[in-house]
Structure 1
Amino acid sequence: MNQPLTLRSEAESLASPMPPLLAQAEHLATTVILGEHGRRRAGTGDTFWQYRPAQAHDTARSIDWRRSARSDTAFVQDREWQIAQSVLMWVDPAASMRFSSNDNLPAKSDVARILGLATAILLVRGGERVGLTGLRLPPKRGEGQLQQMAQILTEDAEVDYGSPDTHGMLPHSHAFFISDFLGDLTSVETALRKAADRGVQGALLQILDPQEEAFPFDGRTVFQSMTGAVEHETLKAGDLRDRYLIRMAERKDRLSELAHMTSWSFQTHHTDTPATAALLWLYQALERR
């Protein structure tokens, strides 16, 4: 899959109320007021939050006289603060994302792009502004924005591993990064710290092929990066399994730790499992911010 229209079509299917794949996501969309994310603090909005005792600065017209009549205290209705938020995303375009262990599984890049665009579709439907990190596509609303996003997301980068781009992140906005995160984690740490310094909160979604978790290799094996720049041959691949699994577990623990330190969320999704759960998790992670 390498055409913008194909990507958009599959993302629309994932974000549509019709296919069973997105039954849970549609339930989420109907039970949450998309685009009007209550922040659980007083402000301008239409949704009732709480009654509070009237204070000296409150005007007489702001007092809820019906509620106040039931006690000796005057009460005011607080409305929940609501505002359309800006959400920026980075979907790893690097060569490592094009890996698939067999023809029956999608490439990690396909899953990442569909999930990223499906999340954007849900956010735009709710009135949010969405865009891409890197200053190329600032956050906006509308179908035109989704079309441009689909076009850009189909582009590949000829490097083995990607580094999150934090350029263009607005202060106190929201963001999410989708990648296999198999490259140097220093770049991830740097990106998250920069985001945290700007008050940006969000989510890390790691996409892995099941083979990358299981390491089912034995005997003579040649390991080669997707660009061919890195190659390693061994006669006893099975002897590497335990060390590989330990390092993979340590990597995931480090990603989880970095997310926790910067008030982000972290989750891993495997390409042999339905994308619905990952879409729901990603949307809910942004909703909780």
Structure 2
Amino acid sequence: MQARLHTVTRGLVLTCLALGLQLAPVGCDEGGGGGASEEAAAKADDGKGDAAEGKEDPVAKLVNDQIDANVSDEQVKSFLKDQAKKGCEMLPPAMVAKVLEIPEAELRQMKIVGCIYTWQDAPEGQDAQASISTIMVLEDVAAAEQWFANATKNKTGEELRAELAMVTGKAKEHESIDTKTKEKTVDQLGGMMGAMMPDAGYQYEDVPGVGDAARVLTHDGKLTVRVGNMVFTVGAFKGQAAPPPDMAAVTSGDMKRVMAASKESEAKWLDLTRDARRQQGIELAKAIVAGL
């Protein structure tokens, strides 16, 4: 149970990290495009069976508002709001079940900055995840190409931390962050994200034959895909579950030790499962593109 909870929590933190860093190119996108996020929710189903419906929570609303603020064309903005609800249509449960060879009824769906699936009834020691996130629909292909180039640019650890500091600062300026307690919460989330960043930064490689363009993040196997004027991120994995971090560190009460232990455990697991993640991510991305 502790290992499964750790896996889900880690996944949510890394999803937020990816979202924040991929939003960073918006302000400097010379193509002038806009972006769309997914409707997010924390509401889950009763634990098994049918996928859960989600509703927008305050954190997701903040993210959506930040993205919509970068869109100047009212007609495009209206389209983006509609697109924000289509993550789970682009990645339906049946598609995940087929690609990962898991009974559809055993999948749990969560609408969190896209669409995320976990394996409810995974055998002991096994895990499965699938996701589509940061769905961006730009005003034209040229703008999407620029966004894709920005989002898949190789970055050092120092560059990632600088971007995270910028994203955290902008989040604190939002009108909904109106108390010191809320500002502290944003800082804490930013600190957690920074602690989980790979020291080597982000390195991407081209993946031919997926959409109009695709690149894979080498350390975790997630793909960023462009199809026409749309860009999105896909991740998939079925295999050995992540081991829990050092429990002595987790129970120490020292957050620095907790995050260091989690980061070490995460890095070892990603290294062990890298090839499977890459291949399964490619298969799922191809299925999504074929269904568009």
State the TM-score, normalized to the length of structure 1.
0.23
Bigger proportion of residues as helix = 2
Larger C-alpha radius of gyration, 1 or 2? 1
State the TM-score, normalized to the length of structure 2.
0.23
